[in-house]
Amino acid sequence: MRLLITGGSGFVGQRLCAALARQGHTLQVVSRTPGRAREQLPDGCDVRDSALAFADTPPDAMINLAGESIAAKRWSEAQKREMIDSRLQATGELAALCERLQEAGNALPEVLISASAMGYYGEQSEGDQRDTVVSEETPPHDEFAHRLCARWEAAAGEIEALGVRTAIVRIGLVLGEDGGTLAKMLPPFKWGLGGRFGNGRQFMPWIHRDDLVAAIIFLLERESASGVYNASAPHPATNAEFTRTLGKALNRPAVLPVPACVLKAGLGEMSRLLLTGADMRPVRLQQAGFTFRYKTLDRALEAILAPR
């Protein structure tokens, strides 16, 4: 298939493109920096700076991963707008491409796999999540993280309304060896300075990057797959469990907690990313028949941190 991918040069996108290239797909990648992206992606990727630039070679399917990192900077009002606008612009370009193809009498892509995030459900406060399992049917808390994801998903819904099969993937914390969540957590833990955030009872839904890539390809290939899918491992961990397991994997102590007040003072509203969470489960993904390779955190960290 000819596959159009936004965010293809990112932490997840690079691994996804490599997997798709091995399967023999033709890859079209949208990047704001095409020259740099070409250096990071498999040979033969067609990299352009806009989805609309591919109107002359219509894709058979689209995978939408683009968006400003929610953990890149402190959440100023300007940064919040950038997080929203980057997602809406990337998804809106895909919708515009579909409309242009339709107007020209060309076939629309068969499917759109579009990213969202666990933030859709809102941010449950520390300690009130232990009895609340979050599935795709769980109603959200109305706050910034939810509104961000809801607008992102609504933009993808405009493509679905054109008749394109659409699957939304609400992604947990992505774990891998060269970026993502662990990139920021590993340095203090390697120095023996790691520990829980706040009281540590908040859940951290996580997923190994290779499982996320496999799940995206699974939904791409499964013709009956549509709607919302939680993309996180079947066994989420609390923050205390996560930090303890990470410390054990590194053979380092994890006994220096970071008080909630310190995180709030240093990070402002963004501290809620570390102090809140949800016991999110991949109910629909497993019901569809997807099998996780890394179901438990200790196995995932063992694979990621193994010497290479």
- In the chain, how many domains are there? 1
Asked whether residue 308 is assigned to any structural domain, the reply reads no
For residue 186, being part of any structural domain is answered with no
The pTM for the full model equals 0.94
Look at residue 71 in the predicted model and tell me its pLDDT. Answer: 72
Confidence (pLDDT) at 32: 87
What CATH number does the domain containing 216 carry? 3.40.50.720
Is there a domain that residue 34 lies in?
yes
Residue 111, domain member (yes or no): yes
Per-residue pLDDT tens listing for the chain (308 residues)? 999 999 999 999 999 999 999 999 999 999 989 999 999 999 999 999 999 999 999 999 999 999 887 777 777 889 889 999 999 999 999 999 999 999 999 999 999 999 999 999 986 544 444 458 999 999 998 888 899 999 999 999 999 999 999 999 999 999 998 888 888 788 888 888 778 888 888 898 999 999 999 999 999 999 999 999 999 999 999 999 999 999 999 998 877 777 677 667 665 665 666 777 889 999 999 999 999 999 999 999 999 998 86
Give the tokens for residue 167: 């699957």
Task: Decide if 242 is inside a domain.
Answer: no
Q: Residue 270: its pLDDT value, please?
A: 56
Domain that holds residue 88: 2-176+205-233+279-293
In degrees, rounded to 5, the angle at the alpha carbon of residue 306 between the alpha carbons of residues 252 and 15 is: 120
Q: Is residue 191 part of a domain?
A: no
Strand order in the sheet with 2-6: 46-48, 26-30, 2-6, 61-64, 111-117, 165-171, 227-231
Give helix then strand counts, H and E, for the chain: 11, 14
Q: Using alpha carbons, list the distances in angstroms from residue 37 to 44, 48, 52.
A: 12, 9, 18
Going by C-beta distance under 8 Å and a sequence separation of 6 or more, which residues neighbour residue 16? 5, 8, 63, 65, 213, 216, 217
The answer to the question of residue 192 being in a domain is: no
281, with CB counted inside 10 A (0-12, 13-18, 19+), is buried
Report d(CA 171, CA 42) in Å as an integer. Answer: 24
Contact 21, 38 (CB under 8 A): no
